Structure 1
């Protein structure tokens, strides 16, 4: 489209035939005249990051045998700790369930006592 306009075609007619806004085509032509082809390439928007090294992905180094052993031990410890936490959570849930059952039984007993007193 930019080449058509530069060749002498009308800006508005070219935009209408392509189905885009004439203002957009005008911006494209202006960018091409100022920056050349690089002006038409999509550019990142927004402020650049303060620390450019954050963009780079760091490749992890190969583990030494001692680091591998330590990794295995740490994973085993993590698994053990997860199991411990699961046990504690189940114990807490059981206690709460028992407590709720006791409260429910207590309420039932007190409501039965109230009904007997009223009927007497």
Structure 2
């Protein structure tokens, strides 16, 4: 899939600089003898028009199937990095709030959405 912002061409350039060993478990947990074992609770965000969308969805499913606690937020119609490019969009604002909520979830802290929004939009 080619996508605006981070498309196939850009993805290849990034991978060329990264030079991953595609067979290493450090490159992908699917290369381990027991994929997804020992992975802690995981928070994943996926943009609907991101070239890596399916990777995120497949990874979330594999983690869940392996018994890992997973929280997944999907932003239909959004591009990779949408929250940086268009921070004024509702979906971008939602993803920023979801990020704070997701990190709280990982740390075992539950805050009401309204509290996070007040904090995030505070001006002083």
- TM-score w.r.t. length of structure 1: 0.22
For the pair shown, the structure with the greater C-alpha radius of gyration is 1
Specify which structure has the bigger relative contact order, considering alpha-carbon pairs within 8 angstroms and separated by 6 or more residues: 2
